[in-house]
Each structure stands twice: as structure tokens, then as C-alpha cells.
Amino acid sequence: MRLLVCGGAGFIGSNFIKYILERYPDYRVVNYDKLTYAGNLENLQDIVSLREIPRGGKNNSRYTFVQGDIGDLDKLNQVIADHKITHAISFAAETHVDRSIHGGCKDFVLTNTLGVQMLLDAVRFNKLEKFINVSTDEVYGALGLHEDRKFTESTPVWPNMPYAAAKAGGDLMCNAYFVTHKTPVIVTHCSNNYGPYQFPEKLIPFFIFRLLNNQKVPVYGDGLYVRDWIQVRDHASALDLLLHKGVAGEIYNIGVDNERSNLEVTKMILQIMGKGEDMIEYVTDRPGHDRRYAIDASKIQQLGWQPVYTRDKFEQGLRETVEWYLNNRAWVEKLQKRQAELNPHIK
């Protein structure tokens, strides 16, 4: 397999690349990333052969990085042709919900909707064997806090936030291309990821970073917003399975039945880091804040997928995540410095 990974310098993308290269010694990966503020090539330094890149030259023979925008169809076509790409998967997206609300959503539409359409054209033109568009459970909207229901693949798409609406636009384009052109595309909807190398705009690393600086952690509203949390390597293993066994034209939900409120996760982080609940600061709620997400992953489980970090292992996974950040302070500090330089408005 010669695999094009779009958005591979981000959190989930970089973990996925490592997973694939570790598991398949004969696969080649091209990481195609625009390197926006959330893209970080240091996430992948441990797979690069330093002997081969004295001044940023050649990488590990099975891994190549190309800087590029998924909205650039000509460059996509060139990269696919040059590297004889057979499969593609895209993590490339604008994902920060607060930025889509307060900072305008033009970039979200351009990347999450139009960018997906450009990728679909590239896949169709170059006759790739399979393309996976990695999306989010947020496209389904919200569930009631005490509602005995989960999102299934047939749940109507009804997003409540600009970010989710832009992602839904890309998902719907995938369906249209499959029906109209038989483009071999799969769409996945995954729950909240956690693990190493996550950019600190997301809840878990954001709180860890603040606590490292002895700052209080802000909790929206009453803190009872529920998400289904999945360890990023489990997400990678699900996508690996779909690359090989997933059916084109289908949607697959990915989750581990690990519903936790934001307040519960916050208190677990505080306990792991030896901090008291006096470090919690309740703040004004976010506009359009969805109350609960919950995933029914029975469809992908029927293909044989099972996560390692199930609900009863969440505390272990969270502890390992916190310890990773504590043991990689140099990575944390470099990212904090870069974040402050590029985006002084992100706190």
C-alpha cells in the first residue's frame, strides 16, 4: 500500500501514521499537511531517520512529508502521481469549535467542505482504490442528557455548530460522489479522542498545560456535558481495519461506549496531577453547546474491531496520557512557545 495521509502532522493523523508504519513494514506513507497552527512535525520526529536528513533532506524511506493544502487539486494530483499513491485518508480539518464560533467559519467551510470535495476529485481522477474521510460524531447534533439513545450510522445529520456543519458538508459530498461517480469513499464518525501529541486547545491537554503552570481550569456551564472518549491508538486501529475491510459508500461510527461528563474528566485529571477541586473555575457556557454525544459502534465491531482502552480502562488511559505530557515537557514547552508566537489570542 502507498498511502496518502492528509493532515498527518496533527494529533490523530500523526498517531495514525506511527501505527501504520509500525504495523506494516512494507507500506509507504506520504504525509500531506498544510502545517497550520495545529500541525506539528515534531509529533513524527521519532520515525524520521536523522542520519538521512542533515538539513531537512530525505526522510525515512517509507515516510515522506509534503507540505500542501487539500484545496490545491493540482498539487494533490501531482503528489499522488509522483508517489504512486493507491489509498488515501484525510484528517485534514479545522477542528476547534470555539474558533468556528468566535473567529469566523470561512476557513472551516473551505477546508472541511471544499477541501473534501477537492480530495474526492483527486481520488476519482487518479482511480485510487479507497479513500477514508475522517469525520466527527458532532455532525449528528446533540442527544438528551438522560436520553436512552446513541448515534447510529442512520441518525440524521443535524449539526448545531459551524464546525460541525462544515464537516457535515464534506460528509454529504462523499455520499454524492459515491452515488454519482462510484468514488470508493468511506466516511467515519468518531467520538472525542485523547492521548499523546494533542494540541492544547482540546480539553485534556489544555487542562494539563494550565495545571502545569498552576492555573485554574475553566469548565463551561455546569460541566455536565457528556462525551464518549476514545484513546487515539484505538481510533487508529479502527481506521486501519476500514482501510483493509471497510466497504466503499458506507459510514462507520467509531466509539468505545465511554460516556463521561466534562466535570468527571476534569476531576480525574486533577486527582492524577495531585491538584484539588479548588482549581476548577466555572465559566460562561459556550453558545450552542451540545449536551451529549454517544456512539453506537456495533457496525464496525461486526467487522472485528475491538478497542484496547474500553470504558473500564479509561482511568488507565487518562493516567498514561497525563504522564506522557509530564514526561515530555520539552515537547510541551516548544508547543507553548510556538502557540504564543503564532496565535497570541489563544489562551
CATH number at residue 25: 3.40.50.720
Residue 347 resides in a domain:
no
Residue 85 resides in a domain:
yes
* 204: pLDDT strictly greater than 60: yes
Per-residue pLDDT reduced to its tens digit, 299-332: 999 999 999 999 999 999 999 999 999 999 888 8
Per-residue pLDDT reduced to its tens digit, 67-122: 999 999 999 999 999 999 999 999 998 765 666 566 667 888 889 999 999 999 99
Helices first, then strands: H and E counts in the chain: 12, 12
* 57: pLDDT strictly greater than 70: no
From 69, 94, 138, 234, active-site residue = 138
Q: How confident is the model at residue 341 (pLDDT cuts 50, 70, 90)?
A: low
Cβ-Cβ contacts under 8 Å for 140 (sequence gap 6 or more) = 151, 155, 156, 157, 158, 159, 189, 293
More confident residue, 347 or 225: 225
Domain count, the chain: 1
Q: How far apart are CA 182 and CA 113, in angstroms?
A: 19
From 32, 140, 163, 309, active-site residue = 163
Residue 28 resides in a domain:
yes
Q: Containing H/E element for 188?
A: strand 185-190
- Whether 137 is a known active-site residue: answer yes
* 288: pLDDT strictly greater than 90: no
Task: Fill in the DSSP letter of residue 295.
Answer: B
Q: Containing H/E element for 314?
A: helix 314-327
- Whether 26 is a known active-site residue: answer no
From 69, 94, 137, 259, active-site residue = 137
Domain extent, residue 310, equals 2-342
